[in-house]
Structure formats: C-alpha cells, structure tokens
Structure 1
Amino acid sequence: MSFEYIKGMTWGWVGHADTWDTPEAEHSMREMAKLGINWTAIAFQGLQSHPHATTIRFNEPPMVSDAEVVAAIARAHALGLKVCLKPVVNCTDGTWRAHIDFPDDAQSPDPSWSVWFANYTEFILHYARMAEETGCEMFCVGCEMVAADRRADEWRSLIKQVREVYHGPITYNCNHHQEEKVTWWDAVDLVSTSAYYPETEWTERVPVLRAFAESVGKPVFFMEVGCPSRNGSAMQPYDWTHPGEVDLEEQARFYRTMFDAMANESWFYGFMLWDWPARLYAREEADQNRDYCMYGKPAEDIIRSFYNTR
C-alpha cells in the first residue's frame, strides 16, 4: 500500500450530541479546510463508566448520533478531504483511557479482558461498517490504550474482524513513548502515535523514531500532536489541564520546532494535528483562547505555510 503525505487535522472532538450537523459545524469545517489540509480525522467518543467497566455506550446522548457522524463525513468529502474515522472509548469518571485494565488471569472473578474486548469489538465494528459505507479512506481501531496494548491476541482478533467489514487502510494510535512497546504493528497498515513530545525533546526523539520506522517497515505518521496556546504547554503539550495563561507565541514556537524537526524525514508520512472543534470561538477572540485549536492564532499561519509547501 502506498500513501500520500498526510496534511491533516482532527475535527469534532469529543463529539457532543446535537453539535455536529449544524451551521456552526459546517462553518468550522470550512474554516479548517482553508489550512491546506488533505485529510481530517473525525474523532468522537464512546463511554464506559470507569476503567474497570465492561459496558461501552455509543450512538446516544451525550455522544454524537450515527446521523451526525455520517453528516460530518459527507461534509468533509464534499470539501475534498480524505477521512480517517476515529471512534475512541473514554471513561465517564474522567480516568484516562490508558488506564482501562483488567487482570491477565482468565480465571479471575473480576471483570475480564475477554468481556471488555467483546464489547469494544462491537463498538469498533459498528463504526468500521459506517466507514465502509461512507467511503472513509482510513479507519483507526484504538487510541492511547496503554494498558490494553499488551493484549496482542485480542487486538489481532479485533483487526481481523474489522477487515471483514472495512476494506480500507487500518491504523492504531499509540501513545507517545509507546511506539516501540506495541508488539502487533504487523496487523495494521499504518503506524500512528500521539506525538506529544516536549519542545526540547524533538532533537533526541526523532532519531529514535527514525530507527523505529525502519524496524517496523510500515508508514508512520502522527495521529495526534499539538500544543495549547498557554504558558508552559510547550514542555507538556499532552496536558490539556495545564493552568498556564494564554500564550499564543508558545504554541507557535512548538509548531515551528516540531515542523523543523520533521521536515526532512523521508520515512515520515505526516500529521493529523490536534485539534479543531465543531464549534469555533470567534476569530477576534483568538487572543483570549487557551486551547489546542489554532484558529486565528499565529500557529495557524505556520501550519498553513508548512502544509502548502509539502
């Protein structure tokens, strides 16, 4: 399989009911398309109550409906964008999905991996069928499931079932610093990662990623990477709760540093930047916004310039 360079942006996270098929959502995606992108990851959540629960809810409030997801896919395609459909499981108690975990002992009386994976497979196959029916150009089977990464047999079984209903390229989005720890990359078509590396770490991390890409023999891209526009976030870009004050230049500096570090890496297949909401703040309010979105901020021009020269 050959892939073009991914000049992408993640749209719509986390997917709130009744926000995706609106004039505001259409405006948001049209503004996003002006960045010179060729891909978007349409990302949304299913919910389980806590990290040891086995029931996963989706396609019901407060999550987006199937009709809203289909409408977003159609809108992206109408704008000439390729779509990676990205359903993600979250915990309603606020625990990061990386901590979804169960005992490895199959005889344990506690909730088990087998029950959880059965329900997770139902969740993922639902959207894999949608991706097939709507012509999505890529499908992501999971995101930052650090504790679950060790369950190679279950992931292989899941991906095999996805391939029975979806016939496009498949990726898995591991967490940063987990790239070398996943043992089942051979089961997917593209390797992707949440590359939230501190701005001072890019120089040392790029050679490691280069060697990893050579060893895995698959296209590698960043399914997530970005930085909030707040003071201190360039050193911990993964932390959406960081309390720093608004700092548009810090966000811009992070993007300059990352793009410079990755500009000449021939093994690298691109970015799906984080992120662009379904409802934008007013452009004239950009200098008051502390979040990842770069709309109306200096980082927007940096991204557009980089993408337009690829």
Structure 2
Amino acid sequence: MQYLKCKVLGVILLILTACNGQVEKINGVSFVSSRESINKSHTLPVVQVNANYAAVMPFGFIRDLSTPEIRFNGERQWYGERKAGVEQYINELRKHSIKIMLKPQIWIGRGEFTGYIKMQSEANWKTLENSYSKFILEYAVLAQALKVDILCIGTELQQFIEHRPQYWEQLINEIKTVYSGKLTYAANWDEYKTTPFWDKLDFIGIDAYFPVSDMQTPTVAACLEGWKPHKPIIKSISEKHNKPILFTEFGYRSVDFAGKKPWVFSRSMTEVNLEAQVNTTKALFETFWKEDWFAGGFVWKWFHKHNEVGGENNNQFTPQNKPAEAVIKHYYNTIK
C-alpha cells in the first residue's frame, strides 16, 4: 500500500510539472570556432562542466561599418567558422547529448562593434539586406537539416534593426519557411528593451553584460545589489511578450573591476583577478537561474583545447581552468 501511494504521488508530481510548463534550464557554453575539427577530447570538458547546450558560431565578415557585403564560407576562414566545420562541430557535440544553438555572427574589420552597422544610402541598405539574408538563410537551412534546437538570427545589430525594421520582420517570416525549430536574437544588454520583434521569436535573447559593481574586487553581495535595477526590467519584458529570457551570452573577465563594464575587451586591463570573476559569476546565477521566466544561458566563452587555455594567469573571459569553472559546474549541476 505504501508503495502504491508513493507511485501515485510520483505520477501526480509529474503531471503537475508538465502542467506548470517547467523545462530543463539551458546550461550552455559558447563554443569558439577554431582552425581544426574537434573530437571527443574537445567535447568531454563541455560534458564535465555539466553543460547541456553549446552555441556553435560560424562567422561572416564585413570590411568596415559602411561596407554592405558580408563574406562567408570562404576558404580563407577557419574551419569552425564555415559551414563544413559547423556541421562537424554539431555532430561531435551531439555524440555526448549536447543540444545546439546555432549562432551565426558578423565580424567587422578591426573589431568594430556590430551595433554600429549603418548604411549611408538606400542602395547600400538593400545590398546589406540581400547579403545578410543569404548568410542567415544558408545557416537556417543547415539548422533544419541537422534538426538544431535553437537558431539565433543575429547578434548585437541594433542600428541595422532600428533603421530597417520591416526587413527584419520579413526575414523572420522567411526563416520560418525553411526552419521549424526555436528562434532567438542576441540583443546587446542595452538594446533588448527596444528590439521590435520579440513576439515573433521563442526566446528574448540578451547578451548580458550589465554593469553590476564599480568595486575593484566586487563581492557577491555588491553584485546582487547591482542586479536589482536591471532584474525587474528584464522580467517585465518577459511578461510583456510572454516569452522566456535567454542569456545568449554571459560572463566576466578575470580582471580588476570585472563588474563595472563587463563588455569591455581592453588590452589595457591586464591585472588578473580570479576572485572578481568568481563573485560576479556567482551573483548572476543566484539572481536568475531559479526564476521560472528565465530559460538559461551560454557562458562566454569556451575553447576546444581545454587543457591549453585559461588558467590562473589568464585575464580573459574564459572560465576554463580557473576557479570560475568550478562555480559554473556547480550551478549547472544543481539548478536544472
């Protein structure tokens, strides 16, 4: 009788979970494209950090902010940045049950910010639109062929979207004719509130480089406090559109003042501060990962040769072989 009661209770709990729409958190890594193919030695560290998703990121290249032509799938690109490499990465990651977000991105010469892409003539806008459509639709077709779980239709393209909203509406409709999976867009942290097409997507994607502390070594408490102005606004956008929030990128450099301007990639910031990376990362998990309106996120960034990157003398974003890696492993294991 006791066994039957427990069994019935278990069934009831399963039904309640289904009714509440609870789903597994997206515990992801942003898997960096490289010159070469990957194998089990490169994918096992992803499994060992308890990740269940990887963002695979092919690239298109623009010469400068005023150039409308996007070059992609060229032989001069790294293997992982091209279509053939993307397919190989996805198939290899899937051998370990890692789900995929395909996230094609644009790189501008000299590392200019993609959010500033803005054409100076109607002719150039049309050229850019045609070029971008070819780029993203080629990967949408691939995403459908490989049954990719999520497709990210763009990353940090604020000016392009602001000035050409009708194009983006049409593009999303066109993507949906060739790809039937989940869609998101990776809005910059200061862009997501004005992105006009969230209702047409499945996730509200945010590259979550929000400023949370001005301290040289921010404490967890200070960062938790620093999230308080941002969190209600993020939640309100989720509620407004009835869509879950997905941090399409999140992470901090292991440097002094890591929480002040987390988006900054400056060579002048050289002082290694592992504690700053740990504390900012902990606060982000504590703020968001238990919320039912929050879908999860992708840590920025994860390199394939795990044993050769990161480490305690590294001041860049990767958490690999640093104390922050253990933090991510812990939260990815305990909050499902």
Partner of 2:308: 282
CA pair 214-49 structure 1, distance change in 2 beyond 3 A: same
CA deviations 1:20-67 (Å, max 9, x no partner) are: x045xx433221221111111111311011111111111122243322
Question: 1:281 and 1:237 mapped to 2: Cα distance?
Answer: 25
Partner of 2:152: 140
SS of 2:252's equivalent in the other structure is coil
Partner of 1:87: 104
CA deviations 1:1-23 (Å, max 9, x no partner) are: 985321111101xx34x33x045
Question: 1:174 and 1:113 mapped to 2: Cα distance?
Answer: 20
Partner of 1:29: 43
Residue among 184, 200, 205 paired with 2:197: 184
**Matched-pair identity in %:** 26
Larger radius of gyration: 2
SS of 2:312's equivalent in the other structure is helix
Question: 1:222 and 1:183 mapped to 2: Cα distance?
Answer: 18
Mapped contact 2:186–2:206 kept (Cα < 8 A): yes
Map residues 205-224 of structure 1 onto 2, 5 A cutoff.
Answer: 205-224=230-249
Map residues 1-310 of structure 1 onto 2, 5 A cutoff.
Answer: 4-12=24-32, 15-16=33-34, 18-19=35-36, 21-22=37-38, 26-60=40-74, 61-63=76-78, 64-103=81-120, 108=121, 111-150=123-162, 151-200=164-213, 201-241=226-266, 243-282=269-308, 286-310=311-335
Which structure has greater helix proportion? 2
Mapped contact 1:176–1:195 kept (Cα < 8 A): yes
SS of 2:132's equivalent in the other structure is helix
Question: 1:207 and 1:156 mapped to 2: Cα distance?
Answer: 27
Mapped contact 2:102–2:151 kept (Cα < 8 A): yes
> Residue type matched to 2:114 in 1?
R
Question: 1:111 and 1:152 mapped to 2: Cα distance?
Answer: 16
| CA RMSD, 1 decimal | 1.9
Aligned length: 298
Question: 1:31 and 1:290 mapped to 2: Cα distance?
Answer: 20
Structure 1 residue 289 displacement after superposition: 1.2
Mapped contact 2:51–2:98 kept (Cα < 8 A): yes
* TM-score for both structures, normalised by structure 1: 0.90
Structure 1 residue 112 displacement after superposition: 2.6
Mapped contact 1:11–1:29 kept (Cα < 8 A): no
* TM-score for both structures, normalised by structure 2: 0.84
Question: 1:245 and 1:188 mapped to 2: Cα distance?
Answer: 40
Mapped contact 2:45–2:306 kept (Cα < 8 A): no
